[in-house]
Amino acid sequence: MEQAGNKSGLFIGVVAAIAALGGLLFGYDTGVISGAILFIKDQFALTPAREELVVSAVLVGAIIGAALSGQVSDTFGRKRVIIATAVIFTLGSIVTAMAPGVSLLIAGRLVIGVAIGIASFAVPLYISEISPARARGALVSLNQLAITVGIVLSYVVDFLLAGQKSWRGMFALGVVPAAILGIGIFFLPASPRWLMSRSLVHRAREVLRRVRAGGNVEKELSDIESSLQQETGGWKELLKPWMRKPLIIGIGIMFFQQVTGINTVIYYAPTIFEFAGFGSASVAILATMGVGIVNVIMTIVSIKVIDRIGRRPLLFIGLAGMVVSLSALGLAFGMKGLSHILKWVAAGSLILYIASFAFSLGTVAWVIVSEVFPLKIRGRAMSLATMSNWIFNFTVAMTFLTLIEKIGKAGTFWLYAILGITGWVFCYFYIPETKGHTLEQIEEHWRKGLGPRDLR
């Protein structure tokens, strides 16, 4: 029995890891542009406006991808949507690597963005639906780990190919993980919860037997069945009063994940290091890699504890760390007298900031949105939350440099710090402790009209 349990534990780990390759692509393809843009800009003599378009096309694509895929994943299944993602990633990588001019390059980045948008919601959704409650947080967070590894990989590739100025090579290498994902996904089972929603009970039972050796499969099936009987599954369901809380939670946590400034660091770290007085480009790139590696390490720490100490404590600790580090950054940039130690305060603050984010909002936000919505409309609701994530991401990326110009560096970081404090308060009142509960128990909780903090 124990051996069977270990085997199914290993199997579910492998399943989650293969699906998480979608996260690796998300990280790689968002990170790769930071290095590639330097050479693209030169080769095509881009104006700043065109440059912005090349960089942000991915974000616009991701908004579209996240918006489109909700209904598609409810209709055709999570697994088919992930297969489509691998195909779109491959096509987009080929187009961008071979683009003869800027227009096709922008089109290719837009297509890659669509794939990122789909992957960013379909992967956590799939993993969450196939995982046992006791390990769901850690398994879904494998996706976040893959995102952070993808970002570091993209920095490394950018660094290695910078000598040859080969931006085409940087984009082309994205094909490798896309192909592995495309092949790997054929070996994965369909989501048992989606199978049940299509009345494929027999197949759902088969999948659950493979992934739950020793667990009570019949009980899980009947819980899923009764949750399915309660809703109609249309968009209208999202407007019902009992859906309000999960929607506020899902969109709210995505709002705070983005408006506390994470992607100003991921996309502009070298710029921030330069502001702080690290003169040479290579030092700035090395420091940026340091940021990427701390991001990976603290994501691993978070995964280790998320199912033990729970989602809420992670958010409280991490958001506090983010607020402290953002305030320190603001102070360092704001106080003239500190200019001689600015470099070190800035570097230390950025490291504390990324560590705190990775430990909290990085992992927890995606876990929470994969857990709080009822089964029949989980795809649609989660795509809405994911779409908001990309809209907020886009807004912050597009306003960062302007904000610095208008309210200064110190003001900008203080603004993110204030939003961090607001985020802490939001999490305190709105984020439920979902640790150890099955998805059906969480759904039942909303149905009873209970509040987020009543779930323990």
Summarize as ranges the residues that interact with ligand BGC (CB under 6 A).
144, 147-148, 257, 262-263, 266, 295, 362, 366, 389, 393
Q: Closest distance between ligand BGC and the C-beta of residue 428, in Å? A: 21
Yes or no: say if 194 and 226 are a contact pair by the CB < 8 Å rule.
Answer: no
Q: Closest distance between ligand BGC and the C-beta of residue 2, in Å? A: 35
Both tokens of 155, joined, read 């920095």
Nearer to ligand BGC, 149 or 161 (CB): 149
Nearer to ligand BGC, 204 or 249 (CB): 249
Q: What are the two backbone dihedrals, phi and then psi, of residue 276, each rounded to the nearest 5 degrees?
A: -80, -5
Q: Closest distance between ligand BGC and the C-beta of residue 297, in Å? A: 12
Residue at 27: amino acid letter: G
Cα–Cα distance, 13 to 408 (Å, whole number): 46
Q: Closest distance between ligand BGC and the C-beta of residue 366, in Å? A: 6
Nearer to ligand BGC, 266 or 351 (CB): 266
**DSSP, residue by residue, 76-129:** H-HHHHHHHHHHHHHHHHHHHHH-SSHHHHHHHHHHHHHHHHHHHHHHHHHHHH
Nearer to ligand BGC, 58 or 285 (CB): 58
CB environment 187-200: b (16+ within 10 A), e (fewer): ebbbbbbbbbbeeb
Q: Closest distance between ligand BGC and the C-beta of residue 254, in Å? A: 8
The CA distances from residue 351 to 133, 289, 292, 411, 419, in Å, are: 32, 11, 9, 20, 19
Nearer to ligand BGC, 208 or 369 (CB): 369
Cα–Cα distance, 159 to 165 (Å, whole number): 10
Any alpha helices (H) in 99-243, and if so which ranges?
A: 102-130, 136-161, 167-172, 175-184, 192-197, 201-211, 217-228
Q: What are the two backbone dihedrals, phi and then psi, of residue 313, each rounded to the nearest 5 degrees?
A: -55, -35
| Nearest alpha-carbon partner for 266 in 19, 8, 26, 6 | 26
Yes or no: say if 338 and 331 are a contact pair by the CB < 8 Å rule.
Answer: yes
Q: Closest distance between ligand BGC and the C-beta of residue 296, in Å? A: 9
Nearer to ligand BGC, 56 or 393 (CB): 393
Cα–Cα distance, 28 to 172 (Å, whole number): 11
Nearer to ligand BGC, 276 or 397 (CB): 397
Q: Closest distance between ligand BGC and the C-beta of residue 233, in Å? A: 27
Nearer to ligand BGC, 71 or 263 (CB): 263
Nearer to ligand BGC, 207 or 329 (CB): 329
Q: Closest distance between ligand BGC and the C-beta of residue 147, in Å? A: 5
Cα–Cα distance, 225 to 418 (Å, whole number): 44
How far does Cα 88 stand from its chain's mean position? 18
How far does Cα 65 stand from its chain's mean position? 14
Q: Closest distance between ligand BGC and the C-beta of residue 107, in Å? A: 23
